[in-house]
């Protein structure tokens, strides 16, 4: 009987030991790990921060896109205004160009009409000149190179003014010499002859009786005109020199008229 009891008592002790070990193992399995908790918390925080960063980037990009769209709209509006202004300027230039073209055509037409009228008048002048040269000079006049000349009578002599008066009474004026041939012809008649040249209106400005200025000085004698004693304001030609010479206008010489 006693052996059996010990055996049972021994079994109960083993069970107690096994139960305590099981309890201890159970308690060890439920103990929390602090490093795992920190990693989880950090992951949650990073995820939250990442979401905030993403939202910030999205918001910034949205604002930038809206700002860029507004800027593009303003630029587009400005370009449209500039385009319209350029179109208006182009249209104005077209109108001005068309008006200028019309004015140019009108001026060209007027010029053509005036040119035609000028040519017609020139033909009439040429015809009159031709008819004049065909007609002989009046009695007492001498013909030379299609012109008619009147020379004072032999032994007649007058001042420059009276000589011119005599020419005007015949519907002419003192001779105007334009060529060397004409100078040789006029100067060959008398020893000294008055011609229609003077600087009576302005000293040093020699003018012909028709108001034209004397061009060039090739017909003057060497050293002339010299206005000796400030009294030489009229021109004469001599047979010997066959050149112009200034002398006092009150001297008396023969004269030559030109029709």
Mean pLDDT (whole number) for 250-255: 98
Residue 168 in contact with residue 160, Cβ under 8 Å?
no
Asked whether the whole model's pTM tops 0.75, one would answer no
What's the pLDDT score for residue 9? 43
Query: What are the structure tokens assigned to 128, written together?
Result: 């009159």
How would you label 41-57 residue by residue, b for 16+ Cβ within 10 Å and e otherwise?
A: eeeeeeeeeeeeeeeee
d(CA 222, CA 106): 55
Domain positions in the chain: 75-135, 142-258
Which stretches does DSSP call E strand in 2-129? Answer: none
Q: What is the pLDDT of residue 1?
A: 36
**pLDDT tens, 73-132?**
888 888 999 999 999 999 999 999 999 999 999 999 899 998 888 888 888 887 776 655
Report yes or no: 145 and 129 within 8 Å, Cβ to Cβ. Answer: no
Give residue 66's pLDDT band: very low, low, confident or very high (50, 70, 90): confident
Contact yes or no for 151/256 (Cβ under 8 A): yes
What confidence tens digit (pLDDT) does each residue in 161-218 have? 999 999 999 999 999 999 999 999 999 999 999 999 999 999 999 999 999 999 999 9
For domain 142-258, the CATH class is alpha beta
**Positive or negative torsion for Cα 84, 87, 92, 95:** negative
| Mean pLDDT of the region 14-28 | 47
Cβ atoms of 174 and 255 within 8 Å: the answer is: yes
pLDDT at residue 229, as a whole number: 84
Q: Is the pLDDT of residue 242 over 80?
A: yes
Q: Is the pLDDT of residue 228 over 70?
A: yes
pLDDT at 12: 47
Lowest mean pLDDT among 18-27, 203-212, 234-243: 18-27
Contact 193, 255 (CB under 8 A): yes
pLDDT at res. 32: 52
**Is the model's pLDDT at 3 over the cut of 50?**
no
Name the band, by pLDDT with cuts 50, 70 and 90, for residue 13. very low
State residue 17's pLDDT score: 43
Say what the pLDDT of residue 209 is.
97
Q: 141-172 pLDDT, tens per residue?
A: 999 998 999 999 999 999 999 999 999 999 99
């Amino acid at each position: 009987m006693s052996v059996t009891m010990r055996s049972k008592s021994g079994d109960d002790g083993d069970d107690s030991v096994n139960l305590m070990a099981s309890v201890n193992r159970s308690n060890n399995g439920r103990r929390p790990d602090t490093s795992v908790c920190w990693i989880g918390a950090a992951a949650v925080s990073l995820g939250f921060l990442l979401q905030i960063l993403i939202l910030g980037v999205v918001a910034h990009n949205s604002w930038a896109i809206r700002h860029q769209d507004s800027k593009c709209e303003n630029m587009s509006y400005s370009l449209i205004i500039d385009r319209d202004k350029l179109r208006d300027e182009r249209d104005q230039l077209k109108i001005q160009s068309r008006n200028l073209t019309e004015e140019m055509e009108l001026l060209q037409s007027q010029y053509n009409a005036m040119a035609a009228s000028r040519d017609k008048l020139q033909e009439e002048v040429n015809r009159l000149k031709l008819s004049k040269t065909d007609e002989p000079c009046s009695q007492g006049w001498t013909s030379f190179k299609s012109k008619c000349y009147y020379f004072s009578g032999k032994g007649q002599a007058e001042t420059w003014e009276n000589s011119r008066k005599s020419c005007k009474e015949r519907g002419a004026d003192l001779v105007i010499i334009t060529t060397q041939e004409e100078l040789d012809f006029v100067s060959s008649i008398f020893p000294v002859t008055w011609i229609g040249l003077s600087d009576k209106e302005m000293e040093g400005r020699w003018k012909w009786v028709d108001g034209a200025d004397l061009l060039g000085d090739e017909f003057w004698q060497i050293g002339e005109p010299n206005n000796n004693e400030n009294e030489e304001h009229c021109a004469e030609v001599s047979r010997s020199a066959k050149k112009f010479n200034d002398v006092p206008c009150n001297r008396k010489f023969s004269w030559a008229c030109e029709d």
